[in-house]
Structures are given as structure tokens and as C-alpha cells.
A and B are shown apart, each in its own frame.
Chain A
Amino acid sequence: MSDHESTYVPKTGVEKWLDSRLPIVRFGADYMSLPTPKNLNYWWTFGGILALCLVTQIATGIVLAMHYVPNTELAFASVERIMRDVNSGDLIRYTHANGASMFFVAVYLHMLRGLYYGSYKAPREMIWIVGCVIFFLMIATAFLGYVLPWGQMSYWGAEVITNLIGAIPLIGEPILIWLRGGPAIDNATLNRFFSLHYLLPFVIAGCVVLHLWALHHAGQGNPVGILIPKDREKKDMVPFHPYFTVKDGFAVILFLILFALFVFFMPNALGHADNYIPANPLQTPAHIVPEWYMLPFYAILRAIPDKFGGVVAMFGSIGVLFILPWLDTSKVRSMRYRPTMRTFFIIFVLVGMGLGWCGAQLPDAPVVGSFKTFILIDGDLNSYLWLTRLFTAYYFAFFLIILPVVGLKETPLAIPATISEPVLSGGDAMTAAAAASAEKKG
């Protein structure tokens, strides 16, 4: 599975010359011929899609930086100049802006894939953890980038997010001033955010290399969730190229159609109209809302009535992902064979979307029309505040209570002995021995 033997044979004189000096072609060839489980479904194509997203963002980003001016006096105007005067500037800018949204669509599906199929379980913990680091860096990069146009949402988003750090007791205030480079968000802040927004994608790229290294070392997971024994490799695996390059390629094309739909026909659908108003440090827009991909975490922040508590909960909601491999006590990787857990997982997905939805609403607004209930502690029970709290509670319970407990209590379904079996046998005939051996392996 991992570290497979090299099958590369240099043919031409140039290849032979190079191979005995710098075997870079061999490295690439071996990398592309990695044995890959043959039963991967389309949920496994988001890795390739994400790689494409990163390349798209870096390429369009470098180009935009050739025309953008990181100065409060000129930033907004320079973006408008890109839109109106720079050749294809509008297209490139919309691609970069919608590209961020597409990046997050793909990463959320990628993460949910991992969660459902137990891709974080031994021996793949490091793939998961490096992935969590990448996710965190993506959020940071996206935040820094959104500040650059210096619109109203840019400015007030920056104000709120930097203030999160100011909520840390004692050291929060000095760090806040250090981060902003002054008593308030100003030119110094914009200038450094530009520099960091340029830097972080390359840090992400470095982490992606580690992510892939870990993946190639521990081996690909698969929908059945069993480890493929050495003697089954020939039967159960196919080389990555051309089988999965082509399959990934097809998925990439479908994804690009969706991407293009947004860029060409509704480039502003995922954005916020208020960011077309230049930043005004003296007025916060009445309907300030973060970008959609931050909404669930924003909702969690807002659900907690305490300032620092909200910040802890928000970072905790991402932090809990890092320890996920040790929270899930089940030996069965794929939730395909965990009916109880699958139900909780589906609720989790709905709750995640519910959190996003709540994040876009005013906390005091009633959920059900003008239906009056009663005040519970600090808000009406029929308000987004309490709905968000309910969802937040489930979010944390899912990781900290449900995963550890259900893993110990549930009776998983019989697991096939090989990944070929469900296909060849119609998916139901499995011997008890096969299930037992899978349990041992898992």
C-alpha cells in the first residue's frame, strides 16, 4: 500500500542520465502509480478539487496583487480599477472571490467525507490533523483576504475578528494592539494583512505536501473502511493513474461547471452587498453578517452570553476536530456499518447547516413568526438565540459525548472481509468470520 516498490523504468537516454543523478521523474512516476482502492466513490474526488482550488486562488491572487494597492486611501478604488480597467480584471476578481466560496464548499464536503467514512482513524490520524491545520489556515487566509477590498464588511469583519483576540484575559489587549499596529483598525492593519494574505497560501501549500505525504504513507481509506492486506493488493487496488486521475478529472469538470455558473451568471450571490460601500470607521452596517463559510462558527460565538466564553467556544468548535481521532471509540471505520452513528451523523450535518442559517439571523428575532413563548434567562425561547444554543450544544455533544459513547455501545453491522466482496456478492452475504477479522484489523 504505502512505499510501494518503484515500477519506473527509464527509457530514453535523457531519462537514464537524469535518473542516476536526480530521480525526480521516478519520484513523480511512483507517486502517480500509487496503488489505490478500487472502490472509491465520488466523495473521494474532493482532494483533487481542493488542489485545483488552491492553485486557482494562488494564480488569480498573484495576478490581482499586481494591480491592488494595500493602502486605506487607495484599496477600494484599486479594486474598482481592477473591475473596470484591468484587462479581464472583473473575471479574475470574481474568480478569486467566488473561488474562496468554492474552496470552502469543497473542504466542508471533504471533511464530512472523512467524518463519515472514519478517514481520521488509525493509521490516518496525521492526515486528519494536518488537514485540520490546513482548514484553520484557510479560515485565516480567507479572513485576511476579505479585509483587502476595504469595504464596510471588510473593515467591520476585521474589527470583530481582531477583537476576538482582545477577549483573552490579561494578554489579549497587548496582542490586539500588536496585531492592529495601533489603537484601531487602520492603514497599518490593512498593510500587514496584505503581506500575510500573500504568505499564508504558501504555508497551506507546504501543509498540503505534508497532508499528501501522510496520505501516501498511511494509504488511502475507502468506503468500506477496512485496511487492504498485502496479499489482496493486486485484486483490490488499481494504480492512481490513469484510473483515478481520469475519475478526479471528470469530477473537477463537474465542479468547474458549478464554479463557472457562479462566476459568470451570479458573481455576487455569495457575497455581501455592503462590501460595495467603502469602509467607514464611524458606522457599522445594520446587517453585518460574515461570509457564509464562517456562519456556523460565528453562530457558536454568539450563542454564548459571555465574551471570552464565546471566543473559547468558537475556537473550541474547531479545536475539537484536532482530537477527533481519540474521541471516536469505535473500531469500525466506515459509518456504512454503524447504523446508530449514521443517524447521529445525519443530524450533525443538519445541525451544522442549521448553525449556518442561525448565524445569518438576528439573535433576538423569533424563529416562528410572531409566536410568543416565554423568556428563558436572557432571551425568548422562540428566538434564534435559543435555537443556536440548542444546535451548539448538539455540535459539542456529537464530538464529546455521542462519538465516545456510541462507539462503545453500538453493535456494528457485519463488515466485508475485502473491498471486492460487497460488489461481487451483492453487498449482503458476509460470513461471521469475515466480520470478526475485519473487527480485528480495524
Chain B
Amino acid sequence: MTESVVTEGGDATRRDFIHIAAGAAAVGAGAMVVWPLINQMNPAADTLALASIEFDMTKVQEGQQVVIKWQGKPVFVRYRTPAELQRVIADDHAHDLKEPQSDADRTKPGHQQFLVVLGNCTHLGCIPTFGSGDFGGWFCPCHGSHYDASGRIRKGPAPLNLVVPTYDFVSDTRIKIG
């Protein structure tokens, strides 16, 4: 076979080119077929149409936590007591902070009593229990992560502090998340 190719055309590279072109076409066509089959699993249009929500902060009383659902995830809104606030500010430079952040970095100026964080443990996503753990914040039952009252990771396998979502005070008592 190869002999006849060489003698006929005297140029084997043209046959090689056909092989390469056919191979490339097959790979390209394959990728074009496979991509939609993969991409269909990415978030659908209705899922992507995620709204932002507003929340009335007067619903939360001092020392209380309210959990609201936003984008399918829980958002903790915690109205901290002065004692808790004092403790987290005192801990701003504690040496066991895995992701060092001051409490002021995690709250809005003038509203430091309110902490708004995503309620998913940064380890594997469980919802930590309010008011338990060794640091007066949250304790995650799944793998034993402890957070302080500023939502900072202090102990356990979680790598990061509880995430502060994008939010703003639209009035003195209302916030808009997202």
C-alpha cells in the first residue's frame, strides 16, 4: 500500500495531510458534539436569573440571628450584643486567625452590631449552629469547624472566614443583598 502511494504520487506528504486533516476534523466535530452535552449541565437561564433581595433589619432583635434564603443559600443576619462585639474586636489580632480580618472589615461602618454572612461553612458547605463552638460564634456539625461572632474561622478544617456577601444599607433599617 505505502509503496504504491510513493510511486504513484511520488509525494507521501499529501497522503499524510489527508490523515491529519481527517483526524483534525474528527476531533473538531467530536468537540462540537461533546460541548453542548457538557454545557447543558451548567446553570440554566431561569437559575441564572437570580434576584437580589431586601431585608428589614428591624426584624432582628439584639442577640438574635435571622436566616434568610438568597440564591438557594442561607444568609445569617446577626444582631450582636455589646459583649460579643467587644470580644470580636479584642480578637482582631488573635494569632489563631487563619484568614486575618478585622471585624470592621466584615461589617458596614455605623452598623457594626449587624453581621451579615453567608451561612455556609467554608469547608464543605454545611450550616454552622448559632451560638455554639469554642468562640461564641458558630460551630459546624459536619466536620467540627469553630467560628467566632465575627464569622472568622478559628479552629477546624474550614480554610476561610464565613463569606460576607455583597450588600448595602439602602436606608437606616433596610439592606439589599446581591
- Interface residues, chain A, with chain B CB atoms under 8 Å away: 156, 159-160, 162-164, 166-167, 177-179, 181-186, 188, 192, 281-288, 301-302, 304-307, 310, 362-364, 378, 385
Asked if B88 is at the interface of the complex by the 8 Å CB criterion, the answer is no
Closest to A187 in B: B47
Given contacts A177-B43, A179-B41, A181-B42, is CB(A310)–CB(B157) below 8 Å?
A: yes
Q: Which 10 A-B pairs have the closest CB atoms?
A: A184-B72, A163-B124, A284-B127, A284-B126, A182-B47, A160-B124, A363-B144, A163-B125, A159-B125, A307-B159
Q: A54 to B91, alpha carbons, bound, how many Å?
A: 55
B contacts with A, residue count (CB < 8 A): 32
User: Measured between C-beta atoms, what is the minimum distance from A72 to chain B in Å?
Assistant: 10
Main secondary structure of the interface of B (DSSP, over half): loop
Could you tell me the distance between the alpha carbons of A179 and B128 in the complex, rounded to whole angstroms? 23
B72 touches A186 (CB 8 A): yes
Residues of A within 8 A of B157 (CB): 302, 304-307, 310
A-B contact pairs, 30 of them (CB 8 A): A159-B124, A159-B126, A160-B142, A162-B125, A163-B123, A163-B125, A164-B124, A167-B124, A179-B41, A181-B43, A182-B44, A183-B72, A184-B71, A184-B72, A185-B72, A188-B43, A192-B41, A281-B72, A283-B127, A284-B126, A284-B129, A284-B140, A284-B142, A286-B141, A288-B126, A288-B141, A302-B143, A307-B122, A307-B158, A310-B157
Residues on A with beta carbons closer than 8 Å to the beta carbon of B119: 282
A183-B73, A282-B69, A305-B157 known, 15 other contacts, Cβ within 8 Å: A159-B126, A160-B125, A160-B126, A162-B125, A183-B43, A183-B71, A183-B72, A281-B72, A282-B67, A284-B128, A286-B141, A288-B142, A302-B144, A307-B158, A364-B144
Q: Which chain B residues lie closer than 8 Å to A364 at the CB level? A: 144
Contact B141 A284 (CB under 8 A): yes
Interface of chain A, helix or strand or loop or mixed? Answer: loop
Contact in complex: A181, B47 (CB < 8 Å): yes
B-side residues, CB < 8 A to A, are 38, 41-44, 47, 50, 67, 69, 71-74, 119, 122-129, 140-144, 155-159
Query: Are A285's CB and B141's CB within 8 A?
Result: yes
Q: Are A184 and B144 in contact (CB under 8 A)?
A: no
Smallest CB gap from A280: residue in B = B127
* Contact residues in B for A163 (Cβ distance below 8 Å): 123-125
Instruction: Tell me the minimal C-beta distance from B5 to chain A in angstroms.
Output: 38
Q: Given the complex of chains A and B, what is the CA–CA distance between A277 and B141 in angstroms?
A: 17
A183 to B163, CA, bound (A): 14
